[in-house]
Structure 1
């Protein structure tokens, strides 16, 4: 079988082996050594076409390739290919085809499923797109996660978490409830001080090898910044650990309505975090496709600092730079337009002024400064109110109009 795979690759074909984790079992393990020999021959033959993909359990496959130095396929990687999810433009095609027209529905779907086609198909199979905006979030949880026949009731535990144990699982669970925490807070949350070195090693693997955790540094900082923040990289995994799994466990002992009452506040908090992430991705997508009114030269995933004086704290959701035209755009994201209160906007202004006056940012003082308030939906009254105060107002309908 291994020789046949080698011949097919040399003939210019691409071979894909699915469910590859079964080859880690004792009865099939010898196959890995034979395949290793063929892979080494193929790597040395400089073939112009053809190749081999192995697909299967995230942990089992990645361990074989990246961690277990005794595994036959350890280090047998020749390429890293970044496969991203559907863009917002692609999702709009789905939403429009199914008459899902409310931005609140778009945000809820994106919070759980981001741009993974399979999940949107599962939602279609459950007739979720027939539900109106008022009951949409409740029905998504009920139909997709809480019923015994729900298609995603065990999805994350099966796909992502089944083979993760101990500290790795503890870190993901802690981050689900403490998104954006720092290194010290994360290490303290999952173990004793004497285990710090061991826990840091687990964290490094989840960030670098598995890419299940994103490490975000402050704008203009280097990779060694002690100010880094950590997030679960995948929307579905974050939503599962923070909302869906606790709700599913509660549903085993409580009526659905009681379960939903407990889940709603957690979902609202999660959607607020997801909305920030969505706005950042939309800025990048629009710039990449030549849409909208801002050409990015650098996209920053928010800005924060770590001052000794807490009163000088700076926290900005979005910092976008157009260095060619000397423009800088600052954004404040709120899940509800009502949350852009006079107090929150004044705080936003204070943080931007602190950013501009900082020594390393003073070269931007002569740049065109844009202040943007983002929410999923804005009324005409909201827009008029914010525009009169000198702000740009943007909602998801504005981005939908661009596509």
Structure 2
């Protein structure tokens, strides 16, 4: 609980002031801030209560609180772009500029709200109060797989198929797992789990996530930005040329490229992945929607929800199942990559990672020479290289797919820039959510290691 946390000798609850901005007028916003001052346990906040009567005095109070070491959190900050509230921006801008030069050791101002609106105010809108005033970047990642395993074990969710489905939709976002608990989703049997997740979390009128993505991510995205995200959701891993062709004509190439840069660099809603050993300018880069939840919403949940408005839920589920199967294939590759990184970072397992990408691919003029490898991981310290083939189901690792995998690995070593790796110890690994003992014996007989999510769970 917040009251149990401390910073030095001071309970954290006494060092935080939280305010949620109403979509109203200046008088209501100022009154809301005044109530937040009253509720705050810090002595200065209560002293300032009587001085806050308008936007200028509200901005001055924020500045004084920050200099006193208080963390001021303003939620729904995007409402300050409304005409009725816009005047506050200039007063806040003046205070922020003073705070930047104040060498504050503790405290500060946090603004929360619409992803698009807030990023626009920081990075694009020169008239916005916080434009050009970004002083620090903090990357707050999701729960690790080890954290999720604690949830799975506490709720007796034992099937790797369930783990993968949950991770495909929710990755490591705590709120979504709590919502799933509230919907009794963890009590559902594995064979019905995917259908029930979609139904309980998205399709029913009272489902907790039925509008979540539109509210969190997409409400203020319009036109080309939204069309590019939708195209990427349906064509995960497409190239720059494929994306440009799918979302705009040749005459719009420059404009479309600018939108793509915004999604990749500014908003980080799209991930640009290069093949291993390539530089950041590689023309072989591939693009993916960066967030699992947004990807799952656009590719699976939103189409199913729209269908459910006119059709029985069962019909909507029939349409969604093949979409989810495809999505889980991409998500499983991403999960394996994350697991390599997490295990190496925590000293788990036997592979000391020094380099990892989603995989290796090339773009030769002769398509028969193309190389596609799901995972290429390097352990430079011990001169080991790991090649991995990821399949959504163990039975998908057929003799034909394994032979194709070997052919691509041979093509990898045939390339001049990779031949020095021939002297390294080579590991060939098949990845799937779950393998039977028979599957493992067959893989071992061919010189392969079979690794599934149970193996990774055993490491933690």
What TM-score bracket applies, with the shorter chain setting the length? Answer: over 0.9
1:44-59 correspondence to structure 2 within 5 Å: 44-59=101-116
Deviation at 1:299, TM superposition (A): 1.6
Q: How far off is 1:248 after superposition?
A: 0.5
Alpha-carbon distance between aligned partners in 1 of 2:187 and 2:385, rounded to the nearest angstrom:
41
1:379 aligns with one of 426, 436, 442: 436
Residue matched to 2:159: 102
The equivalent of 1:79 in structure 2 is 136
Deviations along 1:229-278, whole A, 9 cap, x unmatched?
A: 00000000000000000001111111111111111011001001100000
User: Given the alignment of the two structures, is residue 278 of structure 1 paired with residue 335 of structure 2, yes or no?
Assistant: yes
Match of 1:32 in 2: 89
The Cα shift of 1:353 comes to 1.1
CA drift at 1:33: 0.9
1:266 matched residue in structure 2: 323
Matched residues in 2 for 1:13 and 1:368: separation?
55
Secondary structure of 2:423 counterpart = coil
Matches within 5 A, 1:264-343: 264-343=321-400
How many angstroms does 1:94 deviate by?
A: 0.4
Which of 393, 409, 412 aligns to 1:355? It is 412
Following TM superposition, by how much is the alpha carbon of 1:217 offset from its aligned partner in structure 2, in angstroms? 1.0
User: Residues 337-363 of structure 1: CA distance to partner in whole angstroms, max 9, x if unpaired?
Assistant: 010000100111011111112111111
Deviations 1:172-221 (A, max 9, x none): 00001100000011011011111111111111100000000001111111
Name the SS of the counterpart of 1:27 in structure 2. Answer: coil
Which secondary structure state, in structure 2, belongs to the residue aligned with residue 268 of structure 1? helix
User: Does the Cα contact within 8 Å between 2:77 and 2:111 map onto a contact in 1?
Assistant: yes
Work out which of the residue numbers 68, 71, 95 in structure 1 matches 2:125: 68
Partner of residue 390, structure 1:
447
SS of alignment partner, residue 328 of structure 1: strand
Quick one: distance in 2 between partners of 1:253 and 1:132? Answer: 28
Corresponding residue of 2:267: 210
Do the aligned partners of 2:274 and 2:357 also contact (CA within 8 Å) in 1? Answer: no
**Deviation of the 1:293 alpha carbon:** 1.2
Give the equivalent residue in structure 2 for 1:153: 210
Determine the C-alpha separation between the residues in 1 that align with 2:288 and 2:100: 36
Aligned to 2:193: 136
Q: Distance in 1 between matches of 2:354 and 2:259?
A: 34
Does 2:257 correspond to 1:257?
A: no
> Any idea what SS the aligned residue of 1:26 has?
coil
- Whether the 8 Å CA contact 2:333–2:358 is kept in 1: the answer is no
Q: Does 1:229 align with 2:283?
A: no
CA distance in 2 between partners of 1:51 and 1:220 (Å):
41
Deviation per CA, 1:280-318: give whole Å up to 9, x if none.
Answer: 000000010010110111122211001111111001110
> Offset at 1:47?
2.1
Please report the TM-score for the alignment, with normalisation by the length of structure 2: 0.87
Q: Which of residues 34, 43, 61 in structure 1 aligns to 2:100?
A: 43
Which structure: larger Rg? Answer: 2
Alignment TM-score, normalising by the size of structure 1: 0.99
194, 206, 213: which is aligned to 2:251?
194
More relative contact order in 1 or in 2 (CA 8 Å, sep 6+)? 1
Alignment partner for residue 238 of structure 2, among 169, 174, 181?
A: 181
SS at match of 1:28: coil
CA RMSD of aligned residues (A): 0.8
Deviation at 1:384, TM superposition (A): 0.4
What is the match of residue 220 of structure 1? Answer: 277
Q: In the aligned structure 2, how far is the partner of 1:224 from the partner of 1:375?
A: 32
Q: Which moved more, 1:277-286 or 1:42-51?
A: 42-51
Q: Deviations over 1:14-61 (max 9, x none)?
A: 211111011111111111111111111111122222221110001111
CA distance in 2, matches of 1:258, 1:48: 58
Unaligned runs of at least 5 residues, structure 1: none
The partner residue of 2:145 within 88, 91, 101 is 88
